């Protein structure tokens, strides 16, 4: 009989749990609720929440809303969203993750302190990610966003340089990025020892999972990593798993597990991102069990 284990540490992080709870609590006494953007980067969970009455709206749709309640997801929003909401009599249920809120404040304080002086605020992250949109908003769009050390050569950096990371980035890639930034500053004749301020803002709920997952995936013949395709945390953690166990595969739904042959497999590990619901991990396990029962393995 093939052993199948679901990683106990996988599943929503506290920020996502808080946002999902906020939505579900509101929907107990109300038929529907709008969220600004999808609550979580996981299509299966978005579908489940839609069934309960949570409707994600785009920024264009939000601009047309008034006199209603809107949920702000864990990634947070820029100050402009709160200003618009006030003008349109929108009540916000603010589910911004406290860790993201703290990062927003650090960046805002840094920007305020820099006003009228020379210096650069650099954010290591993915420019299209909603958390980055909210972080950039703390600087009126004046921070620089980069995720690839190769981009540093084209950036106009002014000392002092303040470096932050999007919370869901890979810790090792952040380390590599700030080493590259140090070198770039030296090339430009800037002083990285005195003028580079690095903020440790990768969320530990992501980075501690990296170490845990490295150990988890090393124990199985086959690993199925379950995540929405758009989840940055999912992509980062999948990469970590894949480096340790080459027979790790990225799937987004139980049906996608069918693509992986079970011949010769004695153990399967199922794990996922901070945006993957626990029920989905259990569904993948149930699907595999069904397959195994049919083939009698
Ligand atoms: S990954 Fe960390 S910072 Fe981001 S929402 Fe989850 S708990 Fe908050």
User: Is residue 15 within 6 Å of ligand 1 at its C-beta?
Assistant: yes
Please give the full DSSP string across 80-147, using - where no structure is assigned.
HHHHHHHHTTPEEEE---HHHHHHHHHHHHHHHHHTTS--EEEEES-TTSHHHHHHHHTTTT-SEEE-
Could you give the 3-state DSSP secondary structure of residue 219?
coil
Q: Which of 38, 44, 45, 131 is catalytic?
A: 131
Average pLDDT of the chain is 95
Q: Indicate if the pLDDT at residue 297 is higher than 70.
A: no
Element (H, E) at 49: helix 43-52
Q: Give the pLDDT confidence score for residue 294 in this predicted structure.
A: 72
User: Is residue 237 within 6 Å of ligand 1 at its C-beta?
Assistant: no
Q: What is the mean pLDDT of residues 127-137?
A: 95
Q: What is the mean pLDDT of residues 135-163?
A: 95
**Candidates 134, 273, 274, 277: which one to mutate for ligand 1, based on the most atoms within 8 Å of Cβ?**
274
CA of 79 to the centre of ligand 1 (A): 20
User: Is residue 167 within 6 Å of ligand 1 at its C-beta?
Assistant: yes
Q: Indicate if the pLDDT at residue 189 is higher than 80.
A: yes
Q: Indicate if the pLDDT at residue 296 is higher than 70.
A: no
Distance CA 43, CA 230 (A): 9
* 131 is known as an active-site residue: yes
**Candidates 20, 99, 134, 207: which one to mutate for ligand 1, based on the most atoms within 8 Å of Cβ?**
99
Q: Give the pLDDT confidence score for residue 213 in this predicted structure.
A: 95
Structural domains present in the chain? 3-11+205-295 (3.40.1010.20), 14-97 (3.40.50.11270), 99-166+169-202 (3.40.1010.20)
Distance CA 208, CA 225 (A): 17
Q: Give the pLDDT confidence score for residue 206 in this predicted structure.
A: 81
The secondary structure of 27-41, three-state, reads HHHCCCEEEECCCCC
Q: Give the pLDDT confidence score for residue 220 in this predicted structure.
A: 97
User: Is residue 221 within 6 Å of ligand 1 at its C-beta?
Assistant: no
In angstroms, the first-to-last Cα distance of the chain is: 6
**Over the stretch 234-286, which tens digit does the pLDDT of each residue have?**
988 999 999 999 999 999 999 999 999 999 999 999 999 999 999 999 999 99
User: Is residue 169 within 6 Å of ligand 1 at its C-beta?
Assistant: no
Q: Give the pLDDT confidence score for residue 295 in this predicted structure.
A: 64
Q: What is the mean pLDDT of residues 43-57?
A: 96
User: Is residue 135 within 6 Å of ligand 1 at its C-beta?
Assistant: no
Taking the CA of residue 12 as reference, the ligand 1 atom at the shortest distance is: 6
- Residue identifier of the C-alpha nearest atom 5 of ligand 1: 15
Element (H, E) at 267: strand 267-272
Distance CA 143, CA 201 (A): 16
**Over the stretch 21-34, which tens digit does the pLDDT of each residue have?**
999 999 998 999 99
**Over the stretch 94-126, which tens digit does the pLDDT of each residue have?**
999 999 999 999 999 999 999 989 999 999 999
């Amino acid at each position: 009989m093939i052993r199948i284990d679901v990683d106990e540490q996988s599943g929503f992080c506290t920020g996502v749990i808080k946002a999902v709870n906020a939505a579900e609590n509101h929907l107990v006494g109300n038929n529907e609720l709008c969220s600004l953007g999808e609550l979580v980067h996981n299509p299966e969970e978005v579908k489940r929440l839609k069934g309960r009455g949570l409707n994600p709206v785009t920024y264009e749709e939000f601009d047309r809303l008034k006199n209603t309640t809107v949920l702000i997801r864990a990634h947070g929003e820029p100050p402009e969203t709160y200003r618009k909401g006030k003008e349109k009599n929108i009540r916000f249920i603010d589910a911004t993750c406290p860790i993201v809120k703290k990062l927003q404040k650090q960046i805002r304080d840094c920007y305020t302190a820099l006003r009228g002086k020379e210096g650069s605020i650099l954010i290591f992250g993915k420019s299209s990610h909603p958390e980055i949109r909210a972080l950039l908003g703390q600087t009126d769009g004046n921070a620089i966003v980069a995720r690839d050390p190769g981009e540093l050569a084209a950036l106009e950096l002014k000392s002092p340089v303040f470096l932050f990371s999007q919370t869901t980035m890979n810790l090792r890639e952040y380390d590599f990025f700030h080493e590259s930034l140090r070198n770039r500053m030296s090339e430009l004749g800037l002083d990285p020892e005195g003028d580079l301020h690095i903020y440790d803002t990768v969320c530990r709920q992501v980075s501690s999972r990296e170490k845990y997952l490295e150990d988890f995936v090393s124990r199985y013949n086959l690993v199925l990593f379950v995540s929405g395709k758009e989840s940055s945390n999912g992509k980062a953690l999948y990469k970590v798993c894949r480096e340790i166990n080459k027979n790790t595969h990225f799937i987004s739904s139980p049906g996608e597990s069918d693509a992986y042959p079970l011949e010769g497999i004695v153990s399967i590990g199922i794990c996922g991102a901070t945006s993957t619901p626990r029920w989905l991990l259990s569904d993948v396990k149930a699907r595999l069990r069904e397959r195994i029962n049919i083939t009698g393995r």
